[in-house]
Amino acid sequence: MVKIENIELGEFPLLLAPMEDVSDPPFRAVCKQNGADLMYTEFISSDGLVRDADKSLKKLDIYEEERPIGIQIFGGDLESMSVSAEIVERANPNLLDINYGCPVMKVVCKMAGAGILQDVPKMVKLTQAVVNSTRLPVTVKTRLGWDDKTKNIAEVAERLQDIGIKAISIHGRTRIQMYKGNADWTLIGEVKNNPRIKIPVFGNGDVNSPQKALEMKNRYGVDGIMIGRAAIGYPWIFNEVKYYLKTGMLLPPPSVLQRVNTAKEHLRRSVEWKGQKLGILEMRRHYTNYFRGFPNIKPYRSQLVTLEDLTELYNTLDQIAAAYDGLEMPHPYAEPAAFSNENAC
């Protein structure tokens, strides 16, 4: 049984990665329904929380059906991170996660996210400040290092464990790589198999199929796997991985009706949480992946990303269900997710 402090996650948990502009409550709900064991909010600016910024405070929204869930924060200022930890605790998540992995420039230039990988002593001080400011279990998501010359994750993991973090998730790329090239899990495996490391170690990067999940589990011995981009528009991947790990067989891919119904559920929750205008607008980024592989889908997709009336959107989804009834769906694992890499922080 993998545990983060007293939070039981099962024998080999699958985590939904925190992704900016993606991992909101509507998306988390459909992933939870389809097998995600632990989820995180979108990352939240510590400066925004301290200033009571509406956008940052809205991201604190969590729901009982999502548990266990972590709220993730980022920042480069010790005082702001400490105060943010206190604010997060009042929101009552199961844990608090610190983002030391986001590679986008607007975050890195503030020595936050992956920017802190250039200054490990400061990373340790920031982490210690957060640990001292909350009773919640504190976890960290980070990368192998800043660049190929500073892949210092082995040292980082030991130092962060020593000051009290309860788990670490490691993306198998450096900051300089962004999301290019292949994720390197070798150092993730070294951290996991370091006899000094007693906390759970979760691997992240390029797991886009049940077969890949099994390979990473067996080869590197990680305690669980974090899945990000492969779940966008395809939340079924969590249960498919679990089934494959248990049986060695692939589940049939979701039917057309399953895809349509899940897209409807996602849309409904998006509108409920964000309001009709914003909920419809921000749902548009998901449709391509929900209906990836459908022949001649472009006319329907064009409607989904332009219509502004909720009833018309539901009608279009019903038309897709009728038009493609009986279509045999291939597994999508070989195809890259049609989504900007910059969002997967």
Which residue numbers are catalytic?
A: 102
Rounded to 5 degrees, φ, ψ at 197 are -85, 120
Token readout for 120 is: 């490990």
274 touches 244 (CB < 8 A): no
| Pick from 301, 42, 333: nearest CA to 209 | 333
The DSSP bridge pattern shows strands 7-8 and 3-4 to be antiparallel
- d(C-alpha 247, C-alpha 32), whole Å: 21
177 touches 139 (CB < 8 A): no
- d(C-alpha 89, C-alpha 224), whole Å: 25
151 touches 190 (CB < 8 A): no
* Max Cα–Cα distance, the chain, nearest Å: 59
- d(C-alpha 146, C-alpha 152), whole Å: 8
- Helices 256-274, 310-323: axis angle to 10 degrees equals 170
109 touches 137 (CB < 8 A): no
Token readout for 155 is: 């040292």
**How long, in residues, is the chain?**
345
| H/E element, 168 | strand 167-171
In three-state secondary structure terms, 184 is: coil
End-to-end CA gap in the chain:
28
C-alpha angle with apex 53: 39 to 265, nearest 5 degrees? 40
Residue entry with tokens 């219509």: 307
